[in-house]
Every structure is written in C-alpha cells, then in structure tokens.
Amino acid sequence: MSMSIGEVARRSGVAATTLRFYEDEGLLRTPDRVGGRRRYAESVLTRLEVIGLCKAAGFSLDEIGVLLADDVPGRPASHSLAESKLIDIDRQMATLQRAREIIEWAMTCECVSVDACDCGTHVLSDQPS
C-alpha cells in the first residue's frame, strides 16, 4: 500500500515540509511518484519513528544520517555513535531523576520558601558531587 505525503504526515505526526526536508537531507529515500505526486511505502512510518526517537535521544540529523546509512558489517560507525550517546542519555536520566525528587519534595513542602525550608534538607543535601 502506498501513501500520499499528506497521509504520511497525518499518520506520523511529521509535517509534509519536514518530510521533503528529510528527503533532501537523505534521511528518507526519494519516494516513487504517481502522476507527479509522492507515494510512500508504509515502511517510511518506521523510519520516521526511528528518526524521531534518535532526535529525542539527542542525535543530530547528520548523526542520524550516519546511523541510517551504516551498512558496513558490524556497523562500527553506528556503534561508536550509540555508545557515546548512551552515556549522554544516562546523564540526562540521572538529572531528570534528581529533578523528579526535588519536584516531589516541593509538592509536599509547606514551608514559606525554599530558603526557609527545613523539611527538605535531606533532599537538597543529597546532591551528587
């Protein structure tokens, strides 16, 4: 089943202008054309999901291009990029976990201000070094 650019945009949540941009950047294969209109295979939805998740993980579009084009046995370029990005993701997760702890404390704190608070001393003093 082939889809129009509008249907791909609707189903993926990616704007048609972004789809064209991704084609220009080589992130999406140039689709077949029927009557001058782009017709995408359903597999483009998976590729767009991968692109979106990579972007959310902090990969640049250039890095995503490397990941998607890496067809060397063992995929060394992909592994190198992924390993460094996993370190970044772990740091982000630790920061978000810390933010969650502080927000949860703040939601229960009844002190007049952060400066005057003595109920959250343990939360605020448990900062990683």
Amino acid at position 126, single letter: D
Distances (CA, A) of 43 to 24, 29, 77: 18, 11, 23
- pTM, entire model: 0.73
Residue pLDDT, tens place only, 76-129 = 888 889 898 999 999 999 999 999 998 998 888 888 887 888 776 666 666 554
Kindly state the average pLDDT of the residues 11-25: 96
For residues 67, 69, 70, 72, the Cα torsion angle rounded to the nearest 10 degrees is: 170
DSSP 3-state of 3: strand
- List domains and CATH numbers for the chain: 2-107 (1.10.1660.10)
Place of tokens 């997760």: 93
pLDDT value of position 129 = 47
The CA-based angle 123-126-127, given to 5 degrees, is 110
